[in-house]
Amino acid sequence: MTIPHNALNDMARVFHFEFWLRYYFIKEKDEGLYIELSADQAKQMQTQFPDFWELADSVQGRPLSPELSQQSVVEFLQVHLEGKKFPANTVLQVLDSKEFSVEMYLFNTWLDLHEEQLMQKIFGFDYWMLIYDEWKTTEKAQQLTHSLKLQMQGEHGSVN
Whether 26 maps to a domain, the answer reads yes
**pLDDT of 158 strictly over 60:** no
Whether 56 maps to a domain, the answer reads yes
What 8-state DSSP symbol labels residue 34?
Answer: E
Whether 51 maps to a domain, the answer reads yes
Whether 160 maps to a domain, the answer reads no
Mean pLDDT for 47-67 is: 92
Residue 37 CB-half CA count within 13 A: 20
Identify the pLDDT of residue 1. 52
Mean pLDDT for 125-136 is: 95
Identify the pLDDT of residue 30. 83
Mean pLDDT for 100-104 is: 93
**In Å, what is the CA distance from 105 to each residue of 61, 64, 124?**
28, 22, 21
Domains: count for the chain: 1
Residue 15 CB-half CA count within 13 A: 20
Whether 38 maps to a domain, the answer reads yes
pLDDT digits (tens, 9 = 90+) for 69-99: 999 999 999 999 988 899 888 999 999 999 9
Q: What is the C-alpha to C-alpha distance for residues 125 and 123, in angstroms, rounded to an integer?
A: 7
**pLDDT of 156 strictly over 80:** no
Look up the domain containing 9 and give its range: 5-155
Whether 18 maps to a domain, the answer reads yes
Q: Which of 141, 137, 139 is nearest to 110 (CA)?
A: 141
Identify the pLDDT of residue 157. 53
Identify the pLDDT of residue 151. 86
How many Cβ atoms from other residues are within 10 Å of residue 114's Cβ?
A: 15
pLDDT digits (tens, 9 = 90+) for 5-17: 799 999 999 999 9
**In Å, what is the CA distance from 73 to each residue of 2, 79, 127, 146?**
22, 10, 21, 27
Mean pLDDT score of the chain: 90
Identify the pLDDT of residue 118. 94
**pLDDT of 155 strictly over 70:** no
Identify the pLDDT of residue 3. 73
